[in-house]
Amino acid sequence: MEDWNSTTHWEPLTGGARVLVSREHTFGTDAVLLADFSAPRPGELWADLGTGCGVIPLLWHTRTQAGHITGVELQEKAAWQAQRSVEENGFSRRIAIARQDARDLSRLFPAGSLHGMACNPPYTVPGAGIASADSARRGARQGDTFTLEDLARSAKYALRYGGRLCICLRPQRLGEAVEVFHSFQLEPKRLRLCQQRPGKAPFLVLLECRLVGKPGMTVEPVLLLEGPDGSPSQEIEDIYGDYRDNPRRRGALYVVGTPIGNLGDFSPRARETLEQADFVAAEDTRVTLKLLNHFGIKKPLVSYFEHNKLEHGPLIVARLQQGETCALVSDAGMPAISDPGETLVAACAQAGVPVYVVPGPTAALSALAISGLPTGRFTFEGFVSVNKRSRREHLDALEGEQRTMIFYEAPHKLRKTLSDFAKLFGPDRRIALCRELTKVHEEVWRTTVGEAAAHYRENEPRGEFVLVVEGAQAPAAPDQEYTLEDAVEMARSLAAGGLSASEAAKEAAKETGFKKGEIYRRMGQAGN
């Protein structure tokens, strides 16, 4: 091992990822092109046969959301390099390196278990050309240890029906490869020729076969490595640029909406995202575990809620920067909406970690839709604070709000909130109390604030509530134009007549059209 360390060095791959290479086991353009051509789909299980230094699994990890990747390599030093690279980049959760003869995959995989397989097989047929004196290079360049028949046999064993085998090979071997693959029920489906530059003969063929696939092959446009002037082609720049700059290499955060009651509202995409994520960040792990168990999903859970978000948030972001993916869920509805997930999303944005949304039910919009109140313009106010000062400031700011207002409220705080609404908005203001939405005891009560407050003074509130409150009527145009100074003077006169400063400012605001808070502040300044 000491000698191996002295003969290896690290090469950069994808914006921070590195691969350990040596003179015997390195990589070239063909590996990068094959990794791009094959592109495992999210959640799929893939293997790279003869992985060498492990560059293809590393590229797959940085560019795709493959479920799990196995690099299979027989040569000891190459397997050691690949394993070192996986560990160095922190990719061990999704990549395994197996030192194993690719001709006997039964030691690694059950029959028909893989979605896909890639291989950069030997360049030439056994005995062709001049054999390299280096055993490692000879094995890579000449098929004297692993033939196309060996590859096809391994693919037929390990791939599921419809599974993909993606390879790159020299054009002179294409006819032989197609004949061999046909004999093992591997149907060629995609083919792409690669040229160094226009006018040159193709130097490489990218080929995709499907196990027991239907006849019919798509020939894709030629891939040019260089333009006429010898500079890299735009497509090559895109391929290599994607590997260097694609933010998905740092993993990603998926904000996943979950049912607000009825589990039938859980979307197929949301379920798929949870199945493919490396871990799930949950507001209450007990609640989320019930959801996962219901759908047969097994994933590591990380607690993330209001009282630990400052501690756990940076840990989650660090894991995402190492290439993992996280599904963020709340107990019900959309995370980050009146929810501590807001802080995690902001932290990811600041760190450059991509954030994607998987939409789902939202109690606020669901309640608005069935409230019977105006929906064209509305404001979401979340939970009203229990802190007296914050609560007063929040509600005072809404006194003249003309848009429909949406609030969340817990049952034990409902009475206080309705009482405050009656004082602020008046008892005749229309309100819809939406309770236990999508659940067995779903209820929508369209009434007035005063009636709702009176009802719940006598009856115990049960369940979670969404309160949809009618906005204020637009003030009538005054018969005369008032200045702010006029409004302040009117309020001071009302206060001198016995009203409190707050009530005086309120009455003056109704009369003049100016905001109560602005009048109240000017009254205080005038009194100093």
Closest CA to 399 of 374, 373, 428, 424: 424
235 contact partners, CB below 8 Å, separation of at least 6: 223, 224
In which residue ranges of the chain is pLDDT below 70? 1-3, 14-16, 123-144, 241-250, 475-480, 525-528
pLDDT at 517: 87
Tell me the fold of 251-361. Cobalt-precorrin-4 Transmethylase; domain 1 (3.40.1010)
d(CA 521, CA 505): 9
d(CA 97, CA 83): 6
Q: Which CATH number does the domain 2-247 belong to among 1.10.3720.10, 2.60.120.260, 3.40.50.150, 3.40.50.720?
A: 3.40.50.150
d(CA 411, CA 18): 54
**Which residue matches tokens 């009369």?**
511
d(CA 499, CA 511): 15
Residue 186, H or E segment? strand 186-195
Q: Give me the residues paired with residue 191 across strands.
A: 207, 219
pLDDT at 478: 56
d(CA 193, CA 168): 10
DSSP letter for 511, please.
H
pLDDT at 512: 86
What average pLDDT does the chain have? Answer: 87
pLDDT at 190: 96
0.75 surpassed by pTM: no
Let me know the angle formed at the C-alpha of 207 by 201 and 213, rounded to the nearest 5 degrees.
Answer: 145
Region 374-469: CATH code = 3.30.950.10
528 contact partners, CB below 8 Å, separation of at least 6: none
DSSP letter for 334, please.
-
The secondary structure of 439-469, three-state, reads CCCCEEEEEEHHHHHHHHHHCCCCCCEEEEE
- For 278, list phi and psi in degrees, rounded to 5: -70, -35
Closest CA to 378 of 361, 360, 414, 402: 402
**Which residue matches tokens 């490869």?**
177
Strands 95-99 and 114-119: unpaired
d(CA 103, CA 119): 12
d(CA 461, CA 448): 16
Closest CA to 155 of 188, 207, 114: 114
Task: State the greatest distance between any 2 C-alpha atoms of the chain, in Å, as a whole number.
Answer: 111
pLDDT at 371: 94
263-294 pLDDT, tens digit per residue, is 999 998 898 888 888 899 999 999 999 999 99
pLDDT at 143: 41
Q: At what angle do helices 174-183 and 148-158 cross, to 10 degrees?
A: 40
Domain limits, the chain: 2-247, 251-361, 374-469, 484-527
Residue 257, H or E segment? none
Strands 45-49 and 68-73: parallel
d(CA 255, CA 270): 9
d(CA 189, CA 204): 17
pLDDT at 419: 93
78-130 pLDDT, tens digit per residue, is 999 999 999 988 899 999 999 999 999 999 999 999 999 999 987 555 444 43
